[in-house]
């Protein structure tokens, strides 16, 4: 089934505090966001008509903007209200929300001190990020030839558009070789994350290991899954993990707003089982996002 391109859909988009027809939610091609990656965004999921962890996402949007020297001309409260309003207007029950903030067109060179800050929030019905069949069996990752940049070279703890350049390059490289996603190492060669999700491993004793997020995003899902695992008495170690340690791990999964909990069956030459702990964490996460009583 062919999906309708994102610029050809219908309904409304919240655009600088106005509800604009989807087809009119346009920018001029000379804008600083497009040319110089003066842009930050969020990715949120709607479950049963409610945005999961909306306040945390809005807070991160403001944090990302601040790190980019962008002053959002609304309060967090206004953005939260607008996000709730647009999912109601679009009648999204189970979907995705994309707030985006960018510098406009007043200046078009490196300096952009006078550029107007624009904010939009779009939402649409949406299902699984990875193919649902693959998601059950576990997805396969290669190891990217691109590394996460050193923390003193980018605002690494943000969802700034520029950080995604190497993610798209990595993902395309992986897909062209028959993998679903790509594992990225950090600037020192430690395991960092996938192209849009954090990573966890399970060892033989049932302990989970996850990289310390000191040069990449400490995902909202990552933190949530750590809480769930701790509440089940599962031990979690956050530390530097070298790629060759993967031979010792028996399970692996990704976490992210889009990915939710996605088991991984293979990374490069390393194989993993979709073990009961991963299935159990995934079920608990689904119960939490849909506010069902713990299974
Ligand atoms: N890393 C990257 C690069 C991402 O794009 C995402 C998705 N936002 C994540 C990790 C996971 O973050 P979260 O759980 O907050 O969605």
Sign of CA dihedral 272, 242, 63, 104: negative
Residue 268 in tokens:
């490069």
Q: Which of 82-86, 119-123, 130-134, 188-192 has the lowest mean pLDDT?
A: 130-134
Answer whether 181's CB lies under 8 Å from 195's CB: yes
Q: Which of 126-140, 148-162, 165-179, 263-277 has the lowest mean pLDDT?
A: 126-140
Is the CB of 213 within 6 Å of ligand 1?
A: no
Q: Which of 256, 260, 289 to mutate to test the pocket of ligand 1 (most atoms within 8 A of CB)?
A: 256
159 part of the active site = yes
Query: Residues 59-86: pLDDT tens digits?
Result: 999 999 999 999 999 999 999 999 999 9
Does the reported pTM lie above 0.85? yes
Which of ligand 1's atoms lies nearest the C-alpha of 164? 3
Query: Residues 170-207: pLDDT tens digits?
Result: 999 999 999 999 999 999 999 999 999 999 999 999 99
Paired residues of 259 in beta bridges: none
CA-proximal residue: ligand 1, atom 13 (nearest):
219
Which of ligand 1's atoms lies nearest the C-alpha of 222? 14
Q: How confident is the model at residue 280 (pLDDT cuts 50, 70, 90)?
A: very high
Angle at 130 between CA 136 and CA 173, to 5 degrees: 120
Answer whether 174's CB lies under 8 Å from 181's CB: yes
Is the CB of 43 within 6 Å of ligand 1?
A: yes
Residue 8 Cα to ligand 1 middle (Å): 27
Average per-residue pLDDT in the chain?
Answer: 96
Q: Which of 12, 53, 140, 159 is catalytic?
A: 159
């Amino acid at each position: 089934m062919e999906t309708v391109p994102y610029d050809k859909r219908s309904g409304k988009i919240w655009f600088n505090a106005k509800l604009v027809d989807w087809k009119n939610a346009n920018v001029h091609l000379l804008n600083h966001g497009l040319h110089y990656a003066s842009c930050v965004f969020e990715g949120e999921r709607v479950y049963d008509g409610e945005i999961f962890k909306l306040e945390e996402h809005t807070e991160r949007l403001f944090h990302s903007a601040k790190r980019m020297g962008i002053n959002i001309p609304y309060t967090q409260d206004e953005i939260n209200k607008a996000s709730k309003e647009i999912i109601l207007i679009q009648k999204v029950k189970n979907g995705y929300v994309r707030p985006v903030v960018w510098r406009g067109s007043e200046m078009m060179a490196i300096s952009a001190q006078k550029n107007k800050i624009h904010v939009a929030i779009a939402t649409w019905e949406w299902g699984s990020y990875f193919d649902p069949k693959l998601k059950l069996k576990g997805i396969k990752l290669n190891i990217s030839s691109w590394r996460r940049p050193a923390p003193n070279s980018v605002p690494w703890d943000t969802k700034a558009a520029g950080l995604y350049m190497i993610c798209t390059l990595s993902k395309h490289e992986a897909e062209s070789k028959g993998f679903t996603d790509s594992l990225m190492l950090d600037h020192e060669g430690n395991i960092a994350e996938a192209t849009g999700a954090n990573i966890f491993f399970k060892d033989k004793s049932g302990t989970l290991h996850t990289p310390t997020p000191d040069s990449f995003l400490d995902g909202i899902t990552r933190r949530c899954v750590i809480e769930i695992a701790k509440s089940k008495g599962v031990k979690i170690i956050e530390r530097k993990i070298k790629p060759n340690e993967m031979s010792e791990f028996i399970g692996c999964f990704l976490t992210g707003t889009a990915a939710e909990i996605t088991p991984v069956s293979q990374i490069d030459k390393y194989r993993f089982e979709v073990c009961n702990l991963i299935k159990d964490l995934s079920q608990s996460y689904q119960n939490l996002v849909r506010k069902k009583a713990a299974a």
